[in-house]
Amino acid sequence: MLFNSIEFLLFFPTVVLAYYLMPGKLRLYWLLVTSYVFYMGWNPTYALLLLFSTGVTFVSGLLIGGAKKRAAQLAEEGRKSLPWAKIWVGASFTINLAILFFYKYFDFAVENLNAVLGLFGREAVKPAFDVLLPVGISFYIFQALSYTADVYRGDVRVEKNFFKYATFVSFFPQLVAGPIERSSHLLMQFDEEKPLKMDNIRDGLLLMVWGFFQKIVVADRAAILVNQVFNYSSYYSGFEVVIAMLLFAVQIYGDFAGYSNIAIGAAQVMGFDLMDNFRRPYFATSVGDFWRRWHISLSTWFRDYLYIPLGGNRKGKVRQYINLMIVFLCSGLWHGANWTYIIWGGLNGIYQVIGRVTKPWRTRLMVRIGMKTESFSHRVLQSLITFVLIDIAWVFFRANTLGDAMHILGSVFHFNPWVLVDGSLLNMGYDQTEWVVLLLGIAVLLVLGLLQESGLRLRQGLAKQEMWFRWVIYLLALGAVLLFGIYGPGFDAAAFIYFQF
Amino acid sequence: MKRGMRILAFLLVFMVAYTWIDGILHTKTTDGIGTMKKYYELPKDTVDVLMVGSSHMGMNVNPTQMWDEHGIAAYNLWSGMQPIWNSYYFVKEGLKYQNPKLVVVDVFLCSVLNEYSDSSAALKSVQAMKMSLDKLGAAVASFPTWQQAAEAIWGMPTYHTRFDELAKDDFTFDEFAQELDLVQINANSTLTQEQPPYPIRLKDYASIKDSLPLSEKSEKYLRKLIDLCSSKDVPLLLIAAPFEATEDEFRRLNRVGEIAAEKGVAYLNCLADLDAYDVDPKTDFWDVGHLNASGIPKFTRKLSHYLLAQYDLPDRRLEEDHIWANGVINAADDSSVWKMDQQFTGDGVSRYIDTGVKLYENRYGSWTLLTSLDMTQHPGEEVYMSCFCETPGEGNYGLLIRRKTDDRLAVKLGNNIDVDIMIDSDVINLAIVKNVEKYTVYANGKMIVKDYELPCPKSYAGTLLIGCQELAPGGEKFRHSCTTVMDLKVYQNVQGESRILGWTPAQLPAMAAPLGMDGQVKDIYVLPEQFVGDSGSFVQNAYIDTGLKLYEESAASFTILSRITPSVVDGDKVFFSTFSEVPGEYRGLLVRQLEDQLLNVIVGNNHGITLPCVPGQMMDLAIVKTLNQYAVYVDGKLVQQIDSACAPYAGTLLIGAQRDGDGNIFRQSSTCVNSFAVKSGVMDESEIQKWNFTDAPMPQVRVATSVNYALASRFLGNGQDRYIDTGVQLYDIPQKDWTMAVTLNFEYGKNSGVYLSCFSEEVGNYRGFMIRQEAEDSITILVGNALSYKIQLSEMDRTVRLVVTKRGNQYAIYRNGSLETSLESSCDSYEGTLLIGCQETTEGEKFRFSTAKVDELTMTDGALTDEQAAELSTVQEGVSRF
Q: What digits encode the pLDDT tens for the residues B659-682?
A: 888 888 888 888 888 889 999 988
Return the pLDDT at B554: 83
Residue A21: inside a domain: yes
Domain endpoint, select from A196, A225, A250: A196
Q: Which residues of B touch A475 (CB under 8 A)?
A: 13-14, 17
d(CA B612, CA B596): 9
Return the pLDDT at B331: 32
CATH, domain range B338-501: 2.60.120.200
A158 and A271 assigned to the same domain: no
**Record: contact B158-A478, CB cut-off 8 A:** no
Return the pLDDT at B825: 86
Return the pLDDT at A130: 61
User: What are the Cα distances from residue B74, in Å, to B65, B100, B237, B239?
Assistant: 10, 9, 14, 15
Query: Is it the case that residue A20 has pLDDT exceeding 80?
Result: yes
When CB atoms are compared, the residue of B150, B154, B164 closest to A433 is B164
pLDDT category at B174 given cuts 50, 70, 90 is low
> B657: buried, middle or exposed (CB in 10 Å: 19+, 13-18, 0-12)?
buried
Model pLDDT for residues A124-163, shown as the tens digit of each residue: 666 656 666 677 888 888 998 899 998 888 888 888 899 9
d(CA B558, CA A303): 112
Return the pLDDT at A244: 92
Q: What's the farthest any 2 CA atoms get from each other in chain B?
A: 124
Q: Work out the average pLDDT over B51-66.
A: 88
Residue, of A175 and A385, whose pLDDT is higher: A385
Residue A215: inside a domain: yes
CATH class label, B709-872 = mainly beta
| Pick from A100-114, A295-309, A313-327, B426-440: least confident | A100-114
CATH, domain range B43-117+179-310: 3.40.50.1110
For B331-358, give one letter per residue: b (16+ CB within 10 A) or e.
Answer: eeeeebebebeebbbbbbbbbbbebebb
| Pick from A452-456, B167-171, B196-200: least confident | B167-171
Model pLDDT for residues A394-440, shown as the tens digit of each residue: 999 988 888 889 999 998 888 888 888 887 788 777 888 889 999 99
Domain endpoint, select from A128, A161, A196: A196
pLDDT category at B194 given cuts 50, 70, 90 is low
A67 and A129 assigned to the same domain: yes
When CB atoms are compared, the residue of A433, A478, A487 closest to B14 is A478
A431 and A456 assigned to the same domain: yes
Mean pLDDT of chain B: 86
**CB of B853 within 8 A of CB of B750?**
no
A489 CA: distance to closest CA in chain B (Å)? 6
Domain assignment of residue A156, given as a range: 6-196
Q: CB neighbours (10 Å) of residue B490? A: 20
Residue A407: inside a domain: yes
Return the pLDDT at B333: 41
**Record: contact B164-A434, CB cut-off 8 A:** yes
Domain boundaries, chain B: 43-117+179-310, 338-501, 522-690, 709-872
Q: Work out the average pLDDT over A352-370.
A: 89
**CB of B282 within 8 A of CB of B235?**
no
Residue A46: inside a domain: yes
Q: CB neighbours (10 Å) of residue B242? A: 26
Return the pLDDT at A37: 92
Return the pLDDT at B181: 52
Return the pLDDT at B879: 42
Q: Work out the average pLDDT over B523-547.
A: 74
Query: Is it the case that residue B817 has pLDDT exceeding 70?
Result: yes
**Record: contact B164-A475, CB cut-off 8 A:** no
d(CA A28, CA B144): 36
Q: How far from each other are the two terminal CA atoms of chain A, in whole angstroms?
A: 16
A259 and A217 assigned to the same domain: yes
Identical topology for domains B338-501 and B709-872: yes
Helix and strand numbers (H, E) in chain B are 18, 50
A258 and A406 assigned to the same domain: yes
Q: Work out the average pLDDT over B251-257.
A: 94
Query: Is it the case that residue A188 has pLDDT exceeding 50?
Result: yes
| Pick from A272-276, B68-72, B136-140: least confident | B68-72
Q: Work out the average pLDDT over B399-423.
A: 89
B144 and A CB contact within 8 Å = no
Q: Which residues of A touch B119 (CB under 8 A)?
A: 489
Residue A220: inside a domain: yes
Return the pLDDT at B671: 84
Return the pLDDT at B301: 86
Q: How many residues does chain B have?
A: 882
Return the pLDDT at B633: 93
Query: Is it the case that residue B306 has pLDDT exceeding 50?
Result: yes
Residue A472: inside a domain: yes
Q: Work out the average pLDDT over B387-406.
A: 89
Residue A322: inside a domain: no
Model pLDDT for residues B595-624, shown as the tens digit of each residue: 778 899 999 999 989 899 888 888 999 999
Q: Work out the average pLDDT over B354-359.
A: 89
State the CATH architecture for B522-690: Sandwich (2.60)
Overall domain count for chain A: 2
pLDDT category at B882 given cuts 50, 70, 90 is very low
B156 and A CB contact within 8 Å = yes
d(CA A268, CA A197): 10
d(CA B104, CA B49): 7
Q: Which residues of B touch A488 (CB under 8 A)?
A: 151, 156-161
| Residues of A with catalytic roles | 335
- B532 CB-near residues (< 8 Å, 6+ apart): B672, B698, B699, B701
Residue A233: inside a domain: yes
**Record: contact A488-B17, CB cut-off 8 A:** no
Element (H, E) at B262: helix B247-263
Q: Which of B8, B161, B163, B166 would you mutate first to test chain A, the one with the most A CBs within 10 A?
A: B161
d(CA B292, CA B286): 5
Return the pLDDT at A268: 93
Query: Is it the case that residue B881 has pLDDT exceeding 50?
Result: no
Is the peptide bond between A179 and the residue preceding it cis, with omega within 30 degrees of 0? yes
A266 and A404 assigned to the same domain: yes
A186 and A204 assigned to the same domain: no
d(CA A128, CA B760): 100
DSSP A126-146: --SS-PPPPTTHHHHHHHHHH
Mean pLDDT of chain A: 87
B446 and A CB contact within 8 Å = no
Query: Is it the case that residue A496 has pLDDT exceeding 60?
Result: no
Return the pLDDT at A475: 92
Query: Is it the case that residue A497 has pLDDT exceeding 60?
Result: no
Element (H, E) at A231: helix A220-231
